[in-house]
Structure 1
Amino acid sequence: MKSKVMAKFGMLISILSLLLLAACGSTESSSSSTNSDGEEKAGETKELGEAKLVTNWFAQPEHGGNYAALQQGFYNEEGLEMTIEPGGPQVSATQIVASGEAQFGYTQAEDLLIARDKGIPLVAIGAIFQKSPQVLITHEGTVADFGDLDGKTVYTAPGSGYWEYIKSAYDLTEVKEMSYTGSLATFIEDENAVTQGYVTSEPYSLDEQGVNNDYLFIHDSGFETYANIIFTTEKVIKENPELVQAFMDATVKGWEFYRDNWADVNPYIKEANPELTLEKMEYGAKAEEELIFGGDAEEHGFGYMSEERWSMLQEELLKLGIIKNEDDISKAFTTEFLEQ
C-alpha cells in the first residue's frame, strides 16, 4: 500500500515539474525576443520602435500598398509604430530623410542619383513602378510622338531629368517651358499645351471635365527610370538593418494585399486625402497594376530593380550633364531587403 502511495506521489511530482518547466519556457518566450545566441525566437512580437515614411505626393492609390500595410497592421506585426507623411509640391522627401527626420521616402530614380551626386548618401531599397506611370498629356489629336512636342507649351517640374532627356533625344528647340504646379486649368485652356501627369490620375480628371486627351508614357521615350522608388540612407542600413528589413517585409505584404483588395483600402486612403473620390481611386488602382507587377516584377517579385537599368539611367544623366560624377552604381540601390 505504501509503495502505491509513493508511486502516485512520485508521478504527481513529475507532472508538476513538467508544468513548471513549460511555464518557465513560456515566460521567457514572451519576455525576450532572442535566445542566448541572440537569435530571434519564432512567434515573437518584434519591437523595433517608431519609423516614418514620406511619400512624394498627397495620399493616392500610387501609395496603396503602404497604406494597406498600415491599415491591416502589417507594420505592427513587424514591431514598427509606423507613420506615413504625405508629400506635396513643397515637400522634399529626399531632404527630410537625409536630415534624419524620417527613415524612408519615395522619390524617382533619377532624383536619387542627383542627390547622391551632391553627396547625399541615399539608397533605393525597392521600386514600386517597373514602368513609370508618368506621362505627358496632350489635347486629343495634337501630338502623335515625342517629336511633335516641338512648338508646344510644356508644363513640367523644373529640372526634371526625363524632360532634359526628351528635349535632347528629340531635338526639341522650340518648346515653351512652364513650371508644373499640379493644376490642370492652364492646360485645359490652351489647345497647344502639354502637361506632365500620372496615367493613374490626370487623364481621369480630364475625362470627367469633358476634355478629350491623349498621352505619351515617359518610359516609351527611352528614359526608362524607376518611379516611386522606396529609399533610405546608408546610415540607416548600416546602423539598423533590422528596421529596414521589417519595413520592407510589411511593405511588400501591403502591396500584395492592395493588389487584390484595393476596394477595402481605398476608403482608408481617402481619409488621408478627402479630395479623392472612390471612383477615381478605382481607376488609379486598376491603371497601375500592370505598371507595378508587370515587367521584371512578374519574374522577380514586387520592388525588383536591376543593375542594368540603374547603370543606363546614370549614363543618360551623365551625358546630359545633370550629374557630374560616375558613382559606383551598386551603392545607389540594393535588393537585399527584398530577398528575405
Structure 2
Amino acid sequence: MMKTFSAPLLAAAAVICATSAQADEEVTLRLKWLTQAQFAGPYVAEAMGFYDEEGLDVTIQPGGPNINVETMVASGANTFGIASGTEGVLASRAKGLPIKAIGIDQQVTPYVYVTKPDSGIKTAADFKGKKVATWFTGPQYVLYSVLAANGIEQSDVNIISQSVTLQPFIDGEFDVATATLYNEYNTLLAKGLTDLVVISPEDSGMVSQQDAIITSDKMIAEKPEVVQGFLDATLRGWKYAFEHPEEAIDMVMDAGTGLDRDHQTKMLEKVQELMTGTTGTSEGLGYLNMDAISTIEKNLVKYKAIDESVDITTAFDSSFWENVPAEYKTVAK
C-alpha cells in the first residue's frame, strides 16, 4: 500500500533536500602562495565548519611563484582565489580577464625591497642598472610603478623572477629582493641578515593593498548566493583566527607540511597588523577602499604599468562585502 504524507512533512522533506543540495555545492579556492598563516582565515573557516554552514564544500589549493591566480579563476579552473592585490586585479581586467575582487585582506602595503649594505643602493632611485628580483604573481606591477615614479625605464633594470626561496639573494645572485614583512623579511633576519637596507614602495608614493579575494563574473552572475556565503565564511574565519591565534596556528600546521610554528605565529601577528590597519579597523576586515583603488589605478596608467585605464567598478564589487554580517568583520579587542 502506498503511503501518503501530510503537507508539513512534504515541506520538511523539501527543505532537507534543498539543504542537502546546497551542501553539495563544491567550490575550489586557489591561494597565491604555499600553505602558511598568510591564509589562516580560509583554513580556519574550513576547519571550524564555517564553509559547511554556508552549504559549501571548499577545497583549498596552494599556489606558488608559477601560478597566476587571476588566470585560474578567469578560466573557471578555480571558483575563488586569494590573488595578488589591487594592481594585479586591475592589470588582469585591463587584459580582459573576467574576474572581480569581492574583498581585500591586507589594507597596508606588505612588500618591501631589501638589499645588502655593500650594494650601494639606498633608495629605489638606485635600482637603475641593478638586478632586481620580484614575483610575477602580481607584485611586478608594484615594482613597475615604483620604477616609473623614480624616472627609471623597465629596460634599464634587470628584472628577475623570484623563486620561493631567497637563497639566491643571500648568495649574491641579484642585488635587490622583494620580501613580505610577514614572511621573507623575518626569514632573512633569522638567518642573521640584520643590517639590510629596507626600501618601501610607499617611499615612492605607491600604496599597495594585497591579497584580493576574487571570483569570476560568471559566478557573480549565476550563483551570487554562493559568492556571498564564501565571503561570509572567509571573513568569519579571519575573525576567529585573530581572536584565537593559537588555535588558528594549529589549523594551519595541520593543513601544511614542514612548517615552523614560531615562524607561522609571527606571520599571523604581522598579517593581523596588515589586515586591521587603517580601514581594516575603521571599516572592517576585507574592506574594499574604492578611493584608494582609484588612486592606484590612476598611478598604474600614469606610470604605464598598465596600457589603458580600467573602470574600477568592473574589477571590484563591494556589494558582497557590504552584506557580510558586521560581527564577522570586526575583531574583538
Q: 2:182 aligns with which of 200, 208, 212?
A: 200
- For residue 60 of structure 1, report the CA deviation from its aligned partner: 1.5
Alignment partner, residue 317 of structure 1: 300
Runs of at least 5 residues in structure 1 that lack an aligned partner in the other structure:
1-22, 35-39
Question: Does the CA-based 8 Å contact 1:139-1:191 persist in structure 2?
Answer: no
Alignment partner, residue 87 of structure 2: 110
Q: Deviations over 1:196-229 (max 9, x none)?
A: 0111011221122222234233344322222000
Q: Deviations over 1:51-90 (max 9, x none)?
A: 1110100012111111110111100011000111000122
| DSSP 3-state at the match of 1:269 | helix
Alignment of 1:109-258 (within 5 A): 109-139=86-116, 143-150=121-128, 152-158=130-136, 160-172=140-152, 175-190=157-172, 193-212=175-194, 213-258=196-241
Return 259-268 or 53-62, whichever deviates more: 259-268
Question: Does the CA-based 8 Å contact 2:65-2:135 persist in structure 1?
Answer: no
Alignment partner, residue 296 of structure 1: 279
Alignment partner, residue 259 of structure 2: 276
Alignment partner, residue 29 of structure 2: 53
- Give the structure with higher Rg (CA): 1
Runs of at least 5 residues in structure 2 that lack an aligned partner in the other structure:
1-5, 324-333
| DSSP 3-state at the match of 2:313 | helix
Whole-angstrom distance in 2 between the partners of 1:30 and 1:92 = 43
Question: Does the CA-based 8 Å contact 1:69-1:253 persist in structure 2?
Answer: yes
Q: Deviations over 1:262-307 (max 9, x none)?
A: 2212232223332320000011111121210111121111111122
TM-score, with length taken from structure 2: 0.84
Whole-angstrom distance in 1 between the partners of 2:53 and 2:277 = 28
Return 222-231 or 212-221, whichever deviates more: 212-221
Whole-angstrom distance in 2 between the partners of 1:144 and 1:264 = 41
TM-score, with length taken from structure 1: 0.83
Whole-angstrom distance in 1 between the partners of 2:250 and 2:207 = 32
Q: Deviations over 1:239-274 (max 9, x none)?
A: 000000000110110010111222212232223332
Whole-angstrom distance in 2 between the partners of 1:294 and 1:33 = 42
Q: Percent identity?
A: 30
- For residue 167 of structure 1, report the CA deviation from its aligned partner: 1.2
Question: Does the CA-based 8 Å contact 2:145-2:305 persist in structure 1?
Answer: no
Alignment partner, residue 62 of structure 1: 38
- The letter of the residue matching 1:165 is S
Whole-angstrom distance in 1 between the partners of 2:57 and 2:46 = 9
- For residue 337 of structure 1, report the CA deviation from its aligned partner: 1.1
Alignment partner, residue 3 of structure 2: none
Indicate how the Cα distance of structure 1 residues 25 and 220 shifts in structure 2: closer, same or farther if over 3 A, else same. farther
Indicate how the Cα distance of structure 1 residues 25 and 45 shifts in structure 2: closer, same or farther if over 3 A, else same. farther
- The letter of the residue matching 2:224 is P
Q: Deviations over 1:306-329 (max 9, x none)?
A: 222221121122123332332321
Whole-angstrom distance in 2 between the partners of 1:70 and 1:127 = 19
Alignment partner, residue 328 of structure 2: none
How many positions carry a matched residue from both structures? 312
